[in-house]
Amino acid sequence: MEAGLPDRLERTGEAPEIGIVHLGPGAFFRAFNAVYTDEVRGDAPWGICAVSLKSPTARDQLMPQDGVFTAVELGPDGEARRVIGSIAEVLVAPEDPEAVVDAMADPAVKVVSLTITEKGYGHNPSTGALDPALPDIAHDLDQPGTPQSAVGFICAALDRRRTEGHEPFTVLSCDNLPSNGALAKGVVLDFARRVSPELADWIGAKVPFPATMVDRITPATTEADVARLAEAEGYDDPGMVVHEPFRQWVIEDRFASGRPDWDKAGAQFVESVEAHELMKLRCLNGTHSTLAYLGYLAGHETISDAVADPVFAAMCERLWAKEILPTVPQPEGEDLPAYAAALLERYRNPAIRHRTWQIAMDGSQKLPQRLLGTIRDNLQAGRVPRGLCLAVAGWMRYAGGVDEKGAPIDVRDPLAARLRSASEGADTPEGKVAALLDVRDVFDAGLSGNAVFREAVTAAYVSLAEIGARATVADYLKTA
């Protein structure tokens, strides 16, 4: 420790008995899974063995302080800090794969949870199927006893439990992916079939893969965050995380042999998370993208800046009430208007600096899920969703690569060059809309050929070009 720095954070008391192995101990896991578990573990054996599949960073940050760390809540009125003690051990898989398999195969472990991002599932995103050509998957199929991938570790540990006559653990995906339980089950079963049909049959019959819906904004921890904590609390904590006050965890209640009482910390156990996923996708992600494109064009740097502008806050409220919520099936245990109101309060939090430019990235990939499905449902119901069509027009204007002041926009999108070429190839707003609606990677023929949709998007784009984003949003709010 360098002179002048405060002492490190230390655990008080014994580390908890391990009942969970978690793959992927990044910031989201520490601000979400570890916090929920810390709040309910009590005397029960629900300590966590966290496993990093690649980097030793988490181990190097956490183990010198016995696995404990500080979770700092960034609220609109200041910070709240809590020391989290649910992590008992951190392993680095490449350093000792056998130790990881041993930990997961221990019969005391009831849950193996995952926050490994989409890439960690070793699948082809377009099909959802296991991709055996990926280097880690290919290695594990060839050498299943010394795995490198999450799928390989899960199968190796389950195979050992099967052969030793132990009950399986539950595989709990906590990644922000639709149908994450089905994705995890699909790749694990596919891998197992290639290694051992008997293992695949056992997994298929005995191992639950509950789906989850997770939600908490967790900004990257900065050196300034660490320094501010040291000044406030008198200790150095390189493993700290920061997060927003809001959190939501919806879990299908299917577990092989027990689970923590996460519901006592506010988690929702349900029969199916499908409606909750659609609620989040359309209510949160849909308005996030709307604010990203139109807010950016209007000169707002962050989401909180955008909704501090009354017309953008009012647009969100109108979108939820008139165009989004009517398309969302009622999720179990949810109050949809209250959920929407809570979203607006989250957006208003100035301590969470979600940049509109960042949210605007990869729009060609996000629009079909976040906006176009909602638009399609409205049109089929005989409603014209003019606000959502305005959001699409905002994306088109943004993807053209020039803002309202004539300055270039740094458009980050897999189709950026193609989109800009389509926009620049037309001389009129009507022509630009027509050219972009012909991009089949974004718009299917049925939607792009819908005359009502084309008219609404074109009218919105013309208005954006003539009077700008803020004035166009204000005009939208005046419509019936």
Q: How confident is the model at residue 4 (pLDDT cuts 50, 70, 90)?
A: very low
CA 97-214-67 angle, to 5 degrees, is 45
* pLDDT above 90 (res 127): no
pLDDT given for residue 224 in this prediction? 95
Q: Distance (Å, rounded) from C-alpha 194 to C-alpha 216? A: 37
Q: Distance (Å, rounded) from C-alpha 304 to C-alpha 188? A: 40
Q: What is the DSSP letter of 137?
A: H
Q: Distance (Å, rounded) from C-alpha 259 to C-alpha 208? A: 12
Average pLDDT over residues 448-477: 98
Statement: the pTM of the whole predicted model exceeds 0.85: yes
* pLDDT above 80 (res 223): yes
Q: How confident is the model at residue 256 (pLDDT cuts 50, 70, 90)?
A: very high
| 45 φ, ψ (degrees, to nearest 5) | -80, 65
DSSP state letters, 156-174:
HHHHHHHHTTPPPPEEEE-
The correct CATH number of 274-478 out of 1.10.1740.10, 3.90.1150.10, 1.10.1040.10, 3.40.50.970 is 1.10.1040.10
Instruction: Let me know: does 399 contact 363? Beta carbons within 8 Å.
Output: yes
User: In the Cβ-directed half-sphere of 211, how many Cα atoms lie within 13 Å?
Assistant: 17
Q: Residue 376 in 3-state DSSP?
A: helix
Average pLDDT over residues 298-307: 97
Buried b (16+ CB within 10 A) or exposed e, 278-287: bbbbbbbbbb
User: In the Cβ-directed half-sphere of 64, how many Cα atoms lie within 13 Å?
Assistant: 13
Q: What is the mean pLDDT of the chain?
A: 95
Q: Distance (Å, rounded) from C-alpha 343 to C-alpha 319? A: 13
315: tokens are: 């647009």
Enumerate the domain spans of the chain: 7-270, 274-478
| Sign of the CA dihedral running 340, 344, 349, 350 | positive
- Each residue of 364-397: pLDDT tens digit? 999 999 999 999 999 999 999 999 999 999 999 9
Q: How confident is the model at residue 320 (pLDDT cuts 50, 70, 90)?
A: very high
Q: How confident is the model at residue 2 (pLDDT cuts 50, 70, 90)?
A: very low
pLDDT given for residue 10 in this prediction? 85
Average pLDDT over residues 71-80: 96
Count of all residues that appear for the chain in the document:
480
Instruction: Let me know: does 131 contact 124? Beta carbons within 8 Å.
Output: yes
* pLDDT above 50 (res 276): yes
Amino acid at 267: A
pLDDT given for residue 1 in this prediction? 39
Average pLDDT over residues 90-114: 98
Q: According to CATH, what is the number of the domain 7-270?
A: 3.40.50.720
* pLDDT above 80 (res 95): yes
The residue whose two tokens read 């199916």 is: 272
423: tokens are: 């926009």
| Closest alpha carbon to 100 in 172, 26, 27, 25 | 25
Q: Distance (Å, rounded) from C-alpha 56 to C-alpha 58? A: 6
Average pLDDT over residues 323-352: 96
pLDDT given for residue 480 in this prediction? 72
Amino acid at 174: C
Instruction: Let me know: does 366 contact 413? Beta carbons within 8 Å.
Output: no
Element (DSSP H or E) covering residue 269: strand 268-270
pLDDT given for residue 43 in this prediction? 62
| Sign of the CA dihedral running 179, 345, 412, 372 | positive
Average pLDDT over residues 41-62: 92
The residue whose two tokens read 């308005």 is: 287
Instruction: Let me know: does 266 contact 214? Beta carbons within 8 Å.
Output: no
| Closest alpha carbon to 411 in 355, 464, 366, 357 | 357
Element (DSSP H or E) covering residue 82: strand 78-84
Strand order in the sheet with 47-52: 87-92, 47-52, 18-23, 111-114, 170-173
Q: Distance (Å, rounded) from C-alpha 248 to C-alpha 124? A: 28
pLDDT given for residue 6 in this prediction? 52
Q: Distance (Å, rounded) from C-alpha 213 to C-alpha 160? A: 30
What's the distance, Cα to Cα, between the start and end of the chain in Å? 65
